[in-house]
Chains A and B, each alone.
Chain A
């Protein structure tokens, strides 16, 4: 307790010192008038959903190895519903539902997800397809499955089914 208090006091004093120092230095800082501008060429790289190439020791799944411009060429869609068709509504609501379901599954089965969650909608049934690692005992798995299904069904007022596969370990596509 005493140690903690003394530690805090030390931190405070250090902070005030830094402040004073800043203030003292601030005058000279303003006087010199520091302004900067870009001297090198701007490099507008695309960084969305891309895993940058590294040493070659990082295992990478098929899903994350392919950047987004490969969707519809080498990758499929993780979520399927009819709201994006012509004349259909509810696209925003479906998207928000998808985001929530993904975060929910990620948190409920923490550390067990091998890959992204695939969400399919058949009529009013919400089918959540997930690939898990065998990190939990089966009884816990079954309980969490039932819990997720019940909770999500009550939340979204529609039948929610979880179609689950389990793997021993992650299957890497390549090493980056």
Chain B
């Protein structure tokens, strides 16, 4: 019917106009296939290839792929500009005739073009010695010289007794933050702290496990705070508090008993008492003068005996200490 044919004509008009990219106005729809447009564009090569026009298949001239960059490279070029940062292997950029892979029977390893094995491995093409030298030169502007007076380990220890250890973690993942990086460790030698004998003993008692007897170092590991700075501050605070507390003298410290003593003191022990009593009885039974306690204590055999007993208790039982004890007893009792 007329209406339907006109419909189809109108539809085809519209589509053709869309092809040309121009919208026209239909002046008289009553006429079959009549469509007027205000402006008509000449169909270009590009338009011919767009949809709706399959009768004339004109191929766009295919662009030839350009020659690889390796052809234009000079021998004395700046390699850092070719590989400035870490990048995967690009065969058209690396002018080396590299082959990689297991060869087929009676063949050679596959060439570098399209070689996945060369892409898989990490390369250090961005870290040539010249590139490293250049980077170091750029970084050295921000460095300061090491002070000449700090030339030995002992001097470093003397001027900087507190050592702080902090760890940074490098790993692969979407986030750069690692919760293990917040740990902060503080080490200090007890001998470098300004403490008297009582303070030192009290500090060691308070520190407990954090004190290492062999090396005489205090170690504070702080990881209870979420940030590294906070953990460092907390460790410094712990050290300060410990130092001040061990310098104080509490009234209840006077009640220190022999069981609380860290090391053996011969001065008021049962060993001293027994030795004195034995000697007094021995000397008293003989004729002549009865020596006083002070004389006995200050006599050489007594001092030797004192040393040997202190050694035995503090150092432990080994051949030399037992021998020393034997000699001192023999001298004391005149055997």
Task: Known contacts A116-B116, A129-B88, A174-B104; decide if A134 and B65 are in contact (CB<8 Å).
Answer: yes
Residues from chain A with a CB closer than 8 A to the CB of B174 are: 124, 126, 156-158
B87-126 CB mask vs A (1 if < 8 Å, else 0) is 1101110000000011010000011011111011110000
Q: Which secondary structure characterizes the binding site on chain B?
A: loop
Q: Report if A136 contacts B (CB, 8 A).
A: no
Whether B117 and A75, one on each chain, are in contact in the complex, defined by CB atoms closer than 8 angstroms, is yes
Residues from chain A with a CB closer than 8 A to the CB of B65 are: 134, 168
Q: Write the chain A residue with the least CB distance to B115.
A: A62
Q: Report if A36 contacts B (CB, 8 A).
A: no
Nearest CB in chain A: distance from B277 CB, A: 64
Count: A-B pairs, CB below 8 Å: 87
Number of interface residues of A (CB under 8 A): 43
Q: Report if B175 contacts A (CB, 8 A).
A: yes
Q: Which stretch, B10-18, B76-84, B165-173, B182-190, touches the partner chain A?
A: B165-173
Residues from chain B with a CB closer than 8 A to the CB of A129 are: 88, 119
A53-67 CB mask vs B (1 if < 8 Å, else 0) is 000000001110010
Whether B173 and A165, one on each chain, are in contact in the complex, defined by CB atoms closer than 8 angstroms, is no
- Classify chain B's interface size: 20 to 34
Nearest CB in chain A: distance from B68 CB, A: 11
Q: Write the chain B residue with the least CB distance to A125.
A: B172
| A120 to B87 CA separation, bound complex (whole angstroms) | 10
Q: Can you show 5 pairs from A to B with CB atoms below 8 A apart?
A: A75-B117, A93-B173, A118-B119, A122-B172, A126-B174
Apart from A75-B117, A83-B172, A131-B114: 12 A-B pairs, beta carbons within 8 A: A62-B110, A74-B102, A76-B120, A90-B173, A118-B116, A123-B170, A124-B172, A124-B176, A129-B88, A163-B87, A165-B91, A165-B114
